[in-house]
Amino acid sequence: MILWGPMSLALYTALKQYSKTWSMLSTAFVFVGMSVYLATNTAFSMLSLSQKYAAATSEAEKSVIQAAGQAMIAVSEGTGGQYTGMPLAWLAGLILSIIMLRSKAFSKGTAWVGILGLGLLLASMPFAGYTTTGPSTAAVNAIIAVTYIGGGLLSLAWYVIVGLRLLKLRQP
């Protein structure tokens, strides 16, 4: 997520001549999404709690630490950081991919990989809560698999392709 910042600034520079307003808006989405995601991410706090749990010597101490972990999970799910921060970055990438269609700096294939991958990730958001709380039917599981896995793999390819292209654009 942190690498999205420099990448979005580089993409803004490369694409602003094709659509300055949308390039700027998508860059803003990236930084707001990064802020929300990082502010609500509990990974380091949970790591600290897991170390304390491993070092705990009594069941009472373990119960308190486990309750703190469960509270942290509830707070992070309640704030919805993972459901707002990442989708804002995905939306930004989708916008930038659409702008790439008009760009001479990026191929149409690169643009379409981004549109499809980031579009699938955005389409997965209505099903985000289903992974732990919703009905588990074959149809829901298939939709989740296609959107999460397909979108994730395509967006990963897009990040790599765009990053390599940005490095080439930088060279004289």
Total structural domains in the chain?
A: 1
Contact 45, 72 (CB under 8 A): yes
pLDDT tens string 68-98: 888 887 776 655 666 778 889 999 999 999 9
Per-residue pLDDT, 137 = 75
Per-residue pLDDT, 37 = 81
Confidence of residue 20 (pLDDT cuts 50, 70, 90): very high
Per-residue pLDDT, 39 = 78
pLDDT tens string 28-47: 999 998 888 877 777 778 88
Per-residue pLDDT, 47 = 85
Average pLDDT, the chain: 86
Per-residue pLDDT, 164 = 94
Per-residue pLDDT, 151 = 92
Q: What is the rounded CA–CA span in Å between residue 118 and residue 136?
A: 24
**Taking phi first (over 0 means left), then psi (-120 to 50 degrees means alpha), and beta for anything else, what does residue 30 get?**
alpha
Per-residue pLDDT, 98 = 96
Per-residue pLDDT, 102 = 93
The answer to whether the pTM exceeds 0.85 is no
pLDDT tens string 115-146: 999 999 998 887 665 555 556 677 777 877 88
Q: What is the rounded CA–CA span in Å between residue 159 and residue 64?
A: 41
Per-residue pLDDT, 130 = 53
Tell me which residue of 158, 161, 166, 164 sits closest to 119, measured CA to CA: 158
Residues in the chain: 172
DSSP 61-107: HHHHHHHHHHHHHHHHHHHTHHHHHHHHHHHHHHHHHHHHTT-SSS-
Domain that holds residue 67: 4-170
Per-residue pLDDT, 40 = 75
CA-atom Rg of the chain in angstroms: 19
DSSP-assigned letter for residue 148:
I
Residues 6+ apart with CB under 8 A from 156: 117
Please check the confidence at residue 153 and state whether its pLDDT lies above 60. Answer: yes
